[in-house]
A = this chain, B = another copy of it.
Amino acid sequence: MDNESTHEYQSLLTVLHECMVACNTCYQACLQEDDVQKMTECIRLDRECADFCSYFEQAISRGTAYVSELATTCITICKDCGNECKQHNHDHCQKCAEACLKCAEECQKLLA
Chain A interface (Cβ within 8 Å of chain B)? 1-3, 5-6, 13, 17, 20-21, 24-25, 27-29, 31-32, 36-37, 40, 43-44, 47-48, 50-51, 54-55, 57-59, 61-66, 69-70, 72-73, 76-77, 80, 92
Cα distance, A84 to B50, chains bound together (Å): 24
Interface residue SS majority, chain A: helix
A28-B62 in contact (CB<8A) = yes
B40-A32 in contact (CB<8A) = yes
Number of copies of this kind of chain in the complex:
4
Chain B residues within an 8 Å CB radius of A28: 1, 3, 5, 44, 62-63
B66-A77 in contact (CB<8A) = yes
Cα distance, A88 to B63, chains bound together (Å): 21
Chain B residues within an 8 Å CB radius of A43: 31, 43
Cα distance, A3 to B62, chains bound together (Å): 23
For the A-B complex with A1-B28, A32-B40 known, give 9 more contacts whose Cβ atoms are closer than 8 Å: A17-B17, A20-B58, A20-B61, A28-B62, A43-B43, A48-B62, A50-B61, A50-B62, A73-B73
